[in-house]
Each structure stands twice: as C-alpha cells, then as structure tokens.
Structure 1
Amino acid sequence: MAEPTGAARTGFFPELDDLARDAAVMAGWLAAAEAAVAEAAGRDPSERVRVVLAALGRVASVEIDPHWRTRIDPGDLRAAVLAACQEAGRRRLETWAAELGRSDGRPGTSAPGRTPDAGPRPVEVASGPAEESSHESIRRLWGLLQEATDRLDDVVRDAAARSRDVLTGRDPGGHVTASLTGGGELTDLTLDETWAAAAGAREIGAALTAAITDGYAAVDRRAREATSQWPFPDLERLSGSPAALLATLGLRNEREG
C-alpha cells in the first residue's frame, strides 16, 4: 500500500469525508432496523414453547406452557426449544430485511442531522506550520494501514477459529446445559429428563433461560479476551471518529470553520 502523493493526495481527503457521510447514513439504517427487531418471538410446532429474542438476536427468555406435557414428551423438550429459537431467529431476520428494504434507495434517506441533498463537505489542509505536522500524521496513518493489511489475515484466521469453539453455560441447579458457538449461536441443549418430567413449567423455563444466559456470558468473556489482544489500538482510536481522524491529520471541515 503506497502513500498517496500529488494528485492522488488531493482527492484522498474528500473521499474520507464522503465515506464518513455514507457511514453515518448506513448507521442510521442499521439503527432503524435494530429498533424494529428489538424483540422477536417464535414458537415450536406444538405451540407449547415460546422463545423471545432481544438485542443481537440473543435469547432473552424461554417460556414453557403449563400444559406442555400434553403435546411434548420430556425427551423432546430440547428439540422443541431449539425449534422455537430457530423460528424466532427467522422472524427477526425477516423483519430486519424488510426494514432495510424500506430504507435502501429511499429518496432523501439520510442519517439524523444531515441535510439530504447536501453535497460533500470540502476539506481544507491547514496552512503554515500545521501543514508539515499533518504530512507526518498522514505518513503515520498509512504506516498503520500497511501494518493492518499485513496482519489482517492472522486476525481473520484467529476470529474464524474462535467462532468454531464450543462454549457452554449451565443453570444454577445444574439441570440444563446450553452449547453455543464462539459467535454466540445456540446449537444444542441438554436437559435432565427426570427433572424435566417433574418440574413446573415456570421452573423449566427459568432454568433454560439461565443456562443460555450463562453461555452468552462465556461468549462475552472470550470476546473480551480477544479484544484485549487486538493488534491495532491506534488504528481503532483513529477510525472511531471521522472528526478525530481529520483533526489528527491536521485537517478541518470548511463548514465547521
């Protein structure tokens, strides 16, 4: 990755501004879609198990009908819960896709606070002593980007390996074990059938919810460990805010004075 020079550098900064604006619009679309799927629910074919999903499509609660045993054998309860989870996930994806479909290509759609037809904000390079320091900042940024490019394959491989890991969660009573991928997808449940045959519906639902929640906690711990080893903290800091990035590069938006 070569550092932009001459004419290439002239067009580089307006592109940053365009990317920041487009990212803001996309963030608005995604926020609207996330709000639309704030809660999604699904049932198993017997209509005796209901699963409610919350943020990130995670299971918020598992509800068992008091008369579930009239339609489901204790040994089949695991499959019923997983079926309800899949149905809730399907409904969530359908709602998400429908919301994005309404946003995509809609004339005038924009992120909050942006004038729909406003053109790109021109970016000026500061003159005088700041210009020299901005050139140094540009070289530093490109150095970080080169490092990121060189190490990205390793990061992707590590992330893929973590996503294949199987993590487990258990309820406090030890009656239910939930298995999840490193990415947080619920893949299996193990229930004590003798306990399930005698326990109340609310107790079973609470134990299932607790085991899955404990599994999510294991996923989050693994994610925090990976984040703490993220090899590009400087790049992450610069990319977190377009305004901060422009300031680091010694630039300013003309409209901001």
Structure 2
Amino acid sequence: MRTIAELMNLRDRKALVVGGAGGVGSAVCETLQEMGAVVGILDLKGGKTGLSFICDLKNEEATGEATEKAISEMGGVDILVHCAAYVGETKVPGWSVPFENQTTTAWNDAVTVNLTSAFVLARTCWKSLEKSGNGSIILFSSIYGMVAPNFGLYEGTSMINPAAYNASKGGLLQLMRYLATLFAPKIRVNAISPGGIVRNYPEAFTKRYEAKTPLGRLAVDEDLKGAVAYLASDLSEYVTGHNLIIDGGWTTW
C-alpha cells in the first residue's frame, strides 16, 4: 500500500492551469508546484511562474492553438485545471450591472470564457490526458452553479451577481458529469465549487455573508489548496464525477 506522501506526489507530471494568473489560479499553481508538478499557465495576462501561454479564451481558434502549443512544449498534459472566469468584479460593459441592463454581448462572452472554453480545452487535451495514465481534469464551478444567489446580501452596495455567471457555472457542473462518464476509465473529471472568497468587498456584504456561513467567514485562496491537491493527485484515484464544495457550510442550510 502506498503512503500518503507517495499518493500525493506529482513529480514529473505536467499540469496546464487555465486562468492561472488570477487569485484562485495562483493558489492552484502554487499547490501543484509544491507537489512536484511542472506547471504551464494559459491566461490572457500570462503567468508569473512556470511556462506561460497567452490566450484570449473568447477566441475558440486561438484557445485551441494555444492549448496545442502548451501540450507540445510541455511534452503532454497529465492534469488540466480550468479556473478562468468572468466574475462579479470583471469590468466589461453590460456585465456587472442591474439585470435589466445586462447585455447578450456580455452574457455570450461570459459563457464563452466560463463554460465553452472548458469544453474546447477538454476536447483538445483529451488524447494527451488519455495517454498519461494519470489524467485528471478539474473544473472550477461555484456555489452559484448549485444554488440561487441571496440578493439580500447585496442591498445597499454596488455589487451585482450577473445571471450569466450563475448559468455558466451550473453548466460547468453538468459538463463535468458528462466528461466524467465519457472519458472514464482513463481520465478522471471532477469539479471544485468555492463559496465567497475574500476580495475587496463592501463591509456590509462581508458581514451579511459571514453571518450566513456556518464557519463564520469568507474563504481565502489558501482554502482551495487541499481540494486541488486531492483531485489532482492519486489521493483521489477512485473519484470521478464529483463536485467538491469548499464553502464553509454555506450550501448546508
């Protein structure tokens, strides 16, 4: 029987982290590197560490080309993590505005980045992951892919929870289930659904959110490291089609 240390060892495995330059993505990259993996970052901004592949996920052709380049330069992919997303703080017209002002242009762009790009990446990486023998895909969804927003949290603030964010994150969970059965038994596919993560939020929102969270606080990026370590490694060798919720108990109510 292997030890825990052996099961979580990612030495010589190659991980491609999509959206690896953001807060969540940085925690993902740090985790995988600490476990011994070679990490490539595919992001609009490029990456701070590891191999960097710049790509606009709104462009399907460019996404496919950048992914193929990453696979070639890295010598294959064993782990694919998708954590790129339009979020509430994303600054684009027609996005983080009242519902009646949310535009189909912003909707389409968000769905493309949050959901369609995950499909494109999985399709492009499929054969490389299959050859790996340790193939693992992790899709980052959200509690808002599972439950509706509590709009009372945002009263008196400028915060908005856009409709397309919720729809795309829900779609990611069903894509995860689809891929988990399609790619089995050679590739495992799972999701991580975080709750609210500490950012520069208004104090009123933070107090309301924490009051409704059993563990009494927002998450920090570090809270995601254990989930990533588990799903990326052989610690979860018999786990596929699972949504790992990291929300401090928010969805337990």
TM over 0.5: no
Greater helix share, structure number: 1
Give the greater-gyration-radius structure (CA): 1
